[in-house]
Amino acid sequence: MLSPSSDWLPPAPLEPLHLDWLSQSGIEVAILRLDRIDPLISGNKWFKLIEHLKAADLANAKGIISLGGAHSNHLHALAAAGKRFGFATVGLLRGHPQQTPTVEDLQAFGMQLHWLGYGGYRARHEAGFWQPWQAQYPDLHPVPEGGGGLPGAKGCLQLRPMVREQLHDLGWSDYDGWWLACGTGTTLAGLVLAEAGDHPVYGALAVPDDHGVAQQVESIVLEAGVQNPAYELFDASRGGFAKVDPLLLDFIEQTEQASGLPLEPLYTGKALLALKQHVEAGRFAQGTRLIFIHTGGLQGRRGFR
C-alpha cells in the first residue's frame, strides 16, 4: 500500500499572528501552521500527494515518479514519504546535475534522480512527455510537478474543516477569506473547491505569469465543475521564480524577530510581504479576518544561506 493511514498526520495548529502592521490596520490574521505537521513531509505537500497515492494504489503501482527542481519541496516530501512508507520514488529534475541540500536529501531518502536539462524540463506539458518514462518505469505512477492537477487539489479539501474546527479557540465565529502563496496553484484550487464560493481565496503568485498558474487553477476549477468560484491572484514573485531582494530578506528577518514565525524566501515570505502591502494599501476593511496558510518549505531555506 502506497497510501498510508491518515492517522499518522497530526492536525496543523491555527495560531493568531501578532504584527504591528496588522494591529495598526485593524486586520486579524490566523496562520495555519502546515509547516508543523511533520519535520520532513511538511506543509501543503502531503495534502497534494494524498489522492495521487490513492490512485497509485488503485493502479497497483509500486511507487511514484514526479518532477521538480534542485530545491523542490514537493520532491523532498515525496522522497521522504517513500522512505518512511516503503515505496519507490523517481525524480525528474530541472536543469543539469548539481548538489544542493535538497538534492542530497533526495539521494539519502533513496530517490532515483534523472536530470532533464532546461529544454527537456520545459517539455513536461507536451503530449507524449510521460511515454518514455512510463516505458522505463512501468510500475511507477506519474504525478505532475508539485503534485498538481485535480487529484492534488482534492487532497487539500480537508484544510477548510481543519481550520473551522479551531476557530472557536481563537474566539472567531467565521473568517473573511484565505491568503496563501501559489507555486502551481493546486492548494489554492483545492480551497476554491472546498469553499464553493462561501469565502474568497487570495493567491500570492510566487512565480511569474509564464508559469501558467492562472490557467492551471482555471482548468482544475472547470474540471471540478465549481459554480461561481471566488478567488483572485496577485503577483508576488518580486521579478521571477526564486528571485529575492533586500526588502524581502529584511522583511523576513524583522517578521521572525517580531513573531517567532519561521519563513522562507520563495513562498511564505513573499506571500506575507504581499499581504502587508495590500493591507497597507487599504485593500481590506478594518475588522477583516483572514486565514494565512504556512505552506512549509522551510527545508529550502538551506539553499539561501
The catalytic position among 3, 25, 72, 237 is: 72
How far apart CA 277 and CA 296 sit, in angstroms, is 22
How far apart CA 268 and CA 249 sit, in angstroms, is 12
Q: Which of 95, 98, 93, 143 is nearest to 119 (CA)?
A: 95
Distance of CA 125 to the CA centre of its chain: 20
Looking at 94-230, which runs of residues are DSSP E strands? Answer: 112-115, 140-142, 177-182, 201-205
Q: Is 72 an active-site residue?
A: yes
For the sheet with 28-33, list strands across it.
14-17, 28-33, 289-294, 177-182, 201-205, 231-235
Cell numbers for 9, please give them.
Answer: 498526520
Residue 108: count of CB within 10 angstroms of its CB: 11
Cell numbers for 94, please give them.
Answer: 530541472
Distances (CA, A) of 285 to 22, 76, 81, 85, 177: 12, 39, 42, 46, 12
How far apart CA 217 and CA 175 sit, in angstroms, is 23
Distance linking the first and last C-alpha atoms of the chain: 38
Please give the positions annotated as active site.
72
